[in-house]
Amino acid sequence: MGENTVQEVKIITEGTARIFEEGNVFYNPVQEFNRDVSICVLNTFFEIYHKELDLKEANRAKPSNKPKKKIRILEALAATGLRSIRYAKEVKGFDEVVANDLLNGAVKMIKKNVEANGVEDKVTVNHADATIFMYTSTSYDKRFTVIDLDPYGTPSKFIDAAIQSIEDGGLLCITATDMAVLAGNTPEACIVKYGSVPIRSKACHELALRILLRSIESQANKYGRYIKPLLSLSIDFYVRLFVRVYTGQFQCKESSTKQSMVFQCTGCETLTLQPLAYKKTSIDNPNSIKFNLPTGPYVNTNCEHCSNKHHMGGPIWSANIHDFDFVNNLINYVKIEGTNLGTYSRLIGVLTMVQEELPDVPLYYKIDQICHHMRVATIPALKMRSAILHENYRVSYSHACKNSIKTDAPISLLWDILRYWAKLNPVNPAKITEGSVVKALLSKEPTKEYEFDFIHQDANPPSRRDALTRFQINPTVNWGPGTRNQLMVEGNKPSISKNIRNQGKNKKKRNNNDDNEEEKLPDSKHVKIDDAEMTESDEIKVTL
């Protein structure tokens, strides 16, 4: 960059925070919802946390003479420090937030933004590798009450350190943006990073949540700890989890009962879960609990509905992904204190959908998906939900998918309802070919006539009836997670990672008439950002 170059400086305002945008700093407004929901969760959490502390103190036989431990928040990958600054200005009930980053340039920027917002008394800026810093904070007096991990891509390499440096009952806030891995595009990468095999399913967004939850639980169990999910969200292009971490050997033993393998038919995509273990209580002694292995598999070699084979994935977290008491408190907080937040309407919409979800029904189907397998006109959601409710089963949407259907009804009932729907809306005979899924599904007659005209009173949930903002339309073009932090080397040339350099490489070769012409790479020295620190003169490109 030339000496006479003048960098444009912009002011970004979000919530009550104002930060500088200089040079190659990148601000992603789409992540405002992530930060808004985190602020609401932290405020709700600290209300509960302080009540627990007061109750614990009241139950002491003798008053404690020890000085009170500081309540600290760690933002392990702070970038420009926007999140930490907003925590300092908008969250109550804690003493200090540590804004940590590895890069010298990022640390300088955080300090500048902290000073500009006048929160030096609340925000401590730290320059360190995130994992090393957390590993050096595992002693009781150094542990954090809240740790926020919001990396670019996978959080897997930070989870072990976070588990060890969070206090008992503390809150972990974790974001994962590597949805291609979690959603099943690269199962070999998912088993490496998260210890589970994903399956390509229409319920992939909830599967991603459950794979990440299971990974956190597995890491915690190694240290005699376990997790309690408070809120698990699939949002836009990422997942965001809020879990409390506790210590308890017996609860660790229960972990296997909260995990399941997943079978999915390769034809009709019917899902079947098989738990890794189950609890059995002695009839003679209720305090005697044994953990037994299930017999299986729970599916036949061929699907009972369409005779196709199965794929097997997992293990996934199959217990509750939300604490509904916490969600109710969170909604009350948002309605009272969160009206000034930029994403208020979406917060209410998404959290109301979460509140409506069936707590004990993992995964979901898409209505258009199951209708497609039967080659029948898509049944309206209210008619499908109503038919299930008239059969005395429960049904809900999933916040993770617009056309989803969660139900405790067996999948055989859903197929039977659609068979009757197909009688009213005949399928094109040309689509019913021998050996096809549709042929197998329609080979049976519906067992009864289902009610489609009289809509059940509970078929239309409040989130839909009140036209809440449930699923947001993409707000801008080229909308997404933004770009990874980049080192700038040799002036204004960024270092480019290998996978970015190789994108579209084969396509370019196919379209190139000159077989000898090679793709030209930048002359600059390529430095991986995870392996090197910047000097103070280096430029950075920061993703919030």
Do 83 and 218 fall within a single domain? Answer: yes
Query: Are both 321 and 447 inside the same structural domain?
Result: no
Tokens of 392: 């005395």
Q: Is residue 472 part of a domain?
A: no
In-domain check, residue 501: no
CA 356 to chain centre: 18
Averaged over successive runs of 10 residues, the pLDDT of the chain (544 residues) comes to 56 91 64 96 98 90 81 96 97 98 92 97 98 97 98 95 98 97 96 97 97 99 98 96 97 97 98 95 83 91 96 98 98 95 95 97 97 97 98 97 96 98 96 95 96 95 90 63 51 49 58 46 38 39 42
Token representation of residue 374? 């039967």
Are 248 and 378 in a shared domain? no
d(CA 289, CA 286): 7
Position 356 in a domain: no
pLDDT of residue 541: 40
Residue 123 sits in the same domain as residue 176: yes
β partners of residue 18 = 13
> What is the model's pLDDT at position 257?
97
Q: What is the pLDDT of residue 519?
A: 41
20's enclosing H/E stretch is strand 17-22
- Residue 51 CB neighbours (<10 A): 10
Q: Secondary structure of 212-238 in the HEC alphabet?
A: HHHHHHHHHHCCCEEEEEEEEEEECCE
Domain boundary among the residues 465, 488, 506 is at: 465
pLDDT score for 469: 87
Q: Give a yes or no: residue 389 inside a domain.
A: yes
Q: Are residues 92 and 233 in the same domain?
A: yes
* Structural domain that includes position 233: 9-61+69-258+317-331
What pLDDT score does 283 carry?
A: 81
> Within this chain, do residues 323 and 438 fall inside the same structural domain, yes or no?
no
CATH number of the domain encompassing residue 142: 3.40.50.150
**The pLDDT of residue 400:** 96
Give the count of domains, the chain.
2
Query: Are 424 and 326 contained in the same domain?
Result: no
Same domain, 323 and 390: no
Specify the DSSP class assigned to residue 26. Answer: B
327 and 391 share a domain? Answer: no
In a domain, 196, yes or no: yes
Q: Are residues 370 and 438 in the same domain?
A: yes
CATH of the domain at 379: 3.30.56.70
Same domain as 325, residue 407: no
Domain boundary (465, 480, 509) is at 465
Q: Which of 431, 465, 499 is the C-terminal boundary of a domain?
A: 465
Q: Return the biggest CA–CA distance within the chain.
A: 85
